[in-house]
Amino acid sequence: MTPAVFGIAGLRLTADEKAFFRDSDPAGYIIFGRNIDSKAQLRTLTDELRALHGRDDVAILIDQEGGRVARMQPPLWPKFPAGEIFDKLYDIAPATAIEAARLNAQAIAVTLNEVGITVDCHPLLDVRQPDADNVIGDRALGSEPLRVAALGRAILDGLQRGGVVGVVKHLPGHGRTSVDTHKALPTVTASDAELELDIAPFRTLSKAPMGMTGHLLFTAWDAETPSTLSKTVVQDIIRDRIGFDGLLFTDDLDMEALSGTVPERAERAQAAGCDIALNCWAKMDDMTGIAERLAPMSEKTQQRLDDAMATIAGVSVAEAEEELASLLARRDGLMAAVA
């Protein structure tokens, strides 16, 4: 199996994609708005991906946080709020905020489960910082680490109850970013002591089954290499200091924060200790280059993948529309306090 997650160009697999995916056998796939036209079409696409490999538990990812990061949009699906709303509710009633976040995540999972998506790149555990770039902004669950961890734990639980694996992001922390990593590489000059605040939520939720890196340069840890490509950051900070031993995805390797070709970036990320290279844009040259450059999936990575997907084994969502309505109604009742 190739330790990569690939994007898909359109609404259905092309003949070239089918041939390449069968041959390369990637760890999974990621869905974007360009892949979505209707519920039936999306379910057909995800079924097609599973049929390629004969694996019911193939990881099919999406970014469905709510707010401005939501690939599945109204009117086909509900509009879900950004993380900031739960932070505001926490100011008033912490236990209510935690339960509202769980119900909201479970409702998201029901919508994903219905169309065959098994992994949500959510929740953000990035601690919001003043004066940082708005790429995180209202997506964050707060500026206090214990609060972020509590809400993040509720989201992971809600997703799992709905039959979806959550991915904590962006290790080791994206809250201090000065620029959007889609466009440039941020340099974080905070001291090692100051960065304790950033890693605290990830340490609290270090047993999460899946995580994702962020592409930032942390001068306190590695002044030369972005975190995704840095063995020091991946091994010493993420694996050892934070204690995260789940499946570690890179963030999208096509972002401008990184230099070199996309296949070169994938190879460097693997050498640094990332489990899975994430390549979102379905460019065949990049995907074939990644498959050629990456070493086959290690036994450790395979075990992490299997363990993560096993957390949702046997979860079924019967009468999804009725359950969804109930979850949303209960969530909305709790959130009325900050309406």
Catalytic residue ranges: 182, 251
Which of these, 14, 50, 12, 24, lies nearest to 279 by C-alpha position? Answer: 24
- Distance, in Å, from the CA atom of 190 to the CA atom of 175, rounded to the nearest integer, reads 11
Contact 114, 43 (CB under 8 A): yes
DSSP 134: T
By three-state DSSP, how is residue 62 classified? Answer: strand
Going 236 to 241 to 246 to 249, the CA torsion angle's sign is: negative
Structure tokens that stand for 288 in this block: 């074939």
Residues with Cβ within 8 Å of 282's Cβ and at least 6 positions away in sequence, in order, are 6, 7, 8, 9, 17
Per the document, the length of the chain is 339
Contact 35, 330 (CB under 8 A): no
User: Containing H/E element for 329?
Assistant: helix 320-335
